[in-house]
């Protein structure tokens, strides 16, 4: 362990990359933690995660731009940007987490989010995000607007949280966090959740996500992004970072 109660909780133990900036969604620990576990009998590695730093290019890579244009025409897939009203009153918040359940259900350690958990995540999680940094992909075939993919990203809070006195938001820590979220006072973006339904992954639907999000990162002065943890064996996810000069760190 540790293993979270849900897949939205931080998991695992840092075993390499201690010199890198920690992120809010993942666990940071000192190097002697895994040494203690290794010294005990009866423990073995159950699974491994990796994390990548990916650079924001000056222009949308041609690979993503071409594929995005092609699949829009060939498969009738389209980008949709959301409003708070659609998320909280129009049912899109529910659709997003239903999609996450469908997308992540076969991943190691994932337990399906209950309705109560989904309601809580919509209320406490989606409410403070910048909706420009959230991209949905819909299938418009036969006149439907079926949600088939989503990318939820946010400005990194790592530097802002370090400025909070002893980790406290009060009395003034909230100011640094709010500046990072609303005024984008950071050069890092966290890629919190990216999910594409299995039957659309081979069609290149993720290219639509990157083609839409990269210009927003450029506008906000974002220089690089954190992928968050991915299973070491998940070659499909890691393969999508190729055009963004990924560095495993």
pLDDT tens by residue, 148-166:
999 999 998 888 777 776 7
Residues of the chain with pLDDT under 50: none
- Cis check for the bond before 171: say yes or no (omega within 30 of 0): yes
Q: How far apart are CA 23 and CA 207, in angstroms?
A: 25
pLDDT tens by residue, 102-125:
999 888 888 899 999 999 989 888
Q: Which pLDDT score is estimated for 150?
A: 97
- Cis check for the bond before 2: say yes or no (omega within 30 of 0): yes
Q: Which pLDDT score is estimated for 25?
A: 81
Nearest to 54 by CA among 185, 195, 249, 245: 245
Main-chain dihedrals φ then ψ at residue 156, nearest 5 degrees: -65, 140
Q: How far apart are CA 187 and CA 111, in angstroms?
A: 33
Q: Which pLDDT score is estimated for 161?
A: 78
Q: Which pLDDT score is estimated for 80?
A: 96
Look up the pTM and report it. 0.89
CB contact burial 167-195 (16+ within 10 A = b; e otherwise): eeeeeebeebbeebbeebebebbbbbbbb
């Amino acid at each position: 362990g540790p293993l979270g109660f849900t897949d939205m909780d931080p998991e695992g133990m840092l075993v390499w990359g201690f010199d890198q900036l920690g992120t809010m969604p993942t666990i940071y620990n000192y190097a002697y933690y895994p040494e203690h576990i290794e010294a005990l009998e009866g423990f073995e590695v159950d699974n491994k995660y990796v994390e990548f730093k990916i650079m924001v290019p000056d222009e949308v890579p041609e690979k993503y731009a071409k594929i995005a244009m092609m699949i829009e025409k060939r498969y009738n897939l389209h980008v949709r940007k959301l409003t708070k009203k659609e998320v909280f009153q129009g049912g899109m918040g529910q659709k997003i987490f239903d999609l996450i359940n469908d997308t992540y259900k076969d991943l190691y350690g994932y337990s399906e989010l209950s309705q109560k958990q989904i309601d809580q995540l919509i209320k406490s999680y989606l409410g403070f995000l910048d909706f420009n940094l959230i991209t949905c992909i819909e299938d418009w075939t036969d006149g439907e607007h079926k949600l088939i993919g989503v990318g939820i990203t946010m400005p990194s809070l790592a530097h802002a949280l370090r400025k909070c006195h002893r980790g406290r938001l009060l009395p003034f820590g909230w100011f640094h966090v709010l500046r990072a979220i609303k005024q984008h006072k950071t050069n890092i973006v966290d890629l919190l959740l990216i999910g594409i339904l299995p039957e659309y992954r081979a069609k290149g639907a993720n290219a639509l996500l990157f083609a839409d999000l990269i210009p927003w990162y450029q506008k906000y002065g974002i220089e690089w992004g954190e992928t968050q943890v991915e299973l070491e064996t998940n070659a499909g996810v890691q393969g999508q970072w190729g055009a963004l000069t990924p560095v495993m760190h």
